[in-house]
Amino acid sequence: MKQIKKKILFGEYVSGIGLEKALSIKPEDVIKEIKDSGLRGRGGAGFPTGLKWEFAFKEESDEKYVICNADEGEPGTFKDRKLLTEQPEKVIEGLTIAGYAIGAKRGFIYLRGEYIYILKNIEKAITNLKEKNLLGENILNSNFHFDVEVRLGAGAYVCGEEFALIESMNGYRGEPRNKPPFPTQKGFRDKPTVVNNVETLCFVPYIVSKGAEWFKSFGIEGSTGTKLFSVSGDIEHPGVYELELGITLNELLEVVGAKNPKAVQVGGAAGICVAKKDFDRPISFQGLPPGGSIIVFGEHRDMLKVLKNFLEFFVEESCGQCTPCREGNYRLLEGVNMLEKGNCSYRYLRELLTLCEVMKTSSKCGLGQTSPNCFLSILENFKDEVIFR
């Protein structure tokens, strides 16, 4: 079994070391270190963080912004809540380093409205960091100024999508935009903007202070580092676990004390639902989706009900602008209701499977492109249970 005790985020941390190191080298070198580390976005999409920074760095602009995406809304995910509650200074340090790297003087934390009770905690961290000269004017006498402001969301899952988040911050309905131009070209206030997930930013101080090579000693090729997993459902000890990427689902289930589950939803509602036969697959950017949400279902769970719950979520949370997502999720839910009543024909089921395919290929953003995953995987893996009722 893989060594799974190694921790980064839940290990040691001395506030400011990463930032001090970053400020002592050139922004380009900070970016290089992050690129070399292979760090990929921890929000789910897994875009290489260093590359994103490099794009923004290369843009010429009088203003640039970095935004911490704390709109953690994926069902079954709560790791960012824990980070923001327990380690807000680390998040802000990562954001400050990002700002330094791309040339931004202002950073924002877009905090989901549901987490408003953490707001005071974050604001306290901002004050503390300012007192320690790790934030604000002339940080550590480096002549680098950086300020952080918290902006609240107001109950919209789709705002976790980076362009929807930017639209929301710009004062519009949180509807994803067409790309290109990318946020790194035209983001908040139409200026180059980097949006990084809370967890992603937390890794940054470590990588800068300890080096890319050290970080790469965690995880596997193409999926370096550790990952926080939010584990819930039918298990003894729900909570946040830090494990190396590349770990198999079986190994993970053992750590969290899951007893003989029937199914596991990996990667949140937008992820996939796997059955026992797939439990030996690794979780990584190449394997099972590493979004970090793990929901465990015991033998007694009705998988059709589970699917219905997910689809109800997407029907409400779709921003509603593009056809496949607005209408498609609704049709899938309607199909599940038909299955429940036992009046869904095979022919119609096949139409719905084609619909899933089209939603995946032609939706405007990640929401509609991933929302059919639950339908497809539950229908495939639990056919007997959901179809032959």
Segment 300 to 359, residues that bind another protein, using CB under 8 A:
301, 306, 309-310, 312-324, 326-331, 334, 351, 354-355, 357-358
**Residues from 167 through 186 that contact another protein (CB under 8 A):** 168-174, 178, 180
Quick check: 363 binds another protein (CB under 8 A)?
yes
Residue 134 makes CB contacts below 8 A (sequence gap 6+) with 15, 16, 19, 89, 93, 96, 140
d(CA 333, CA 312): 7
Binding span for another protein by CB under 8 A among 128-136, 204-212, 225-233, 378-386: 225-233
CB-CB contact of 161 with 366 (8 Å): yes
Q: Which is nearer to another protein, 30 or 249 (CB)?
A: 249
d(CA 270, CA 265): 9
Residues in contact with another protein, shown as a per-residue x/- string from 16 to 55 under the rule CB under 8 A: ----------------------------------------
Question: How far is C-alpha 87 from the geometric centre of its chain's CA atoms?
Answer: 17
Candidate list 13, 78, 203, 279; residue touching another protein; CB under 8 A: 78
**Least distance from another protein to the Cβ atom of residue 250, Å:** 21
**Residues from 261 through 280 that contact another protein (CB under 8 A):** 265, 269
Residue 319 makes CB contacts below 8 A (sequence gap 6+) with 156, 158, 164, 173, 174, 175, 176, 325, 365, 367
Quick check: 239 binds another protein (CB under 8 A)?
yes
Residue 90 CB neighbour total at 10 angstroms: 23
Look at residues 31, 171, 206 and name the one whose alpha carbon lies nearest to residue 104. Answer: 31
**Residues from 79 through 98 that contact another protein (CB under 8 A):** 80-81
Candidate list 33, 54, 74, 251; residue touching another protein; CB under 8 A: 74
Q: Which is nearer to another protein, 145 or 305 (CB)?
A: 305
Q: Which is nearer to another protein, 227 or 331 (CB)?
A: 331
Q: Which is nearer to another protein, 27 or 290 (CB)?
A: 290
Candidate list 364, 377, 378, 379; residue touching another protein; CB under 8 A: 364
Q: Computed from CA positions of residues 278, 282, 286, 288, in that sequence, does the dihedral angle turn out positive or negative?
A: positive
DSSP state letters, 16-31? THHHHHHHHS-HHHHH
How many positions of this chain bind another protein (CB under 8 A)? 82
Reading the block at residue 372, the tokens are 């059919």
Q: Which is nearer to another protein, 90 or 331 (CB)?
A: 331
Candidate list 2, 28, 154, 213; residue touching another protein; CB under 8 A: 154
For the chain, how many residues are written? Answer: 389
**Residues from 91 through 130 that contact another protein (CB under 8 A):** 112-117
Distances from the Cα of 87 to the Cα of 41, 93, 94, 125, 211, angstroms: 19, 10, 11, 9, 21
**Least distance from another protein to the Cβ atom of residue 42, Å:** 15
**Least distance from another protein to the Cβ atom of residue 169, Å:** 6
Reading the block at residue 158, the tokens are 């789709």
**Least distance from another protein to the Cβ atom of residue 315, Å:** 5
Quick check: 222 binds another protein (CB under 8 A)?
no
Number of H helices, E strands in the chain: 16, 11
Helix (H, G, I), strand (E, B) or coil at 9: coil
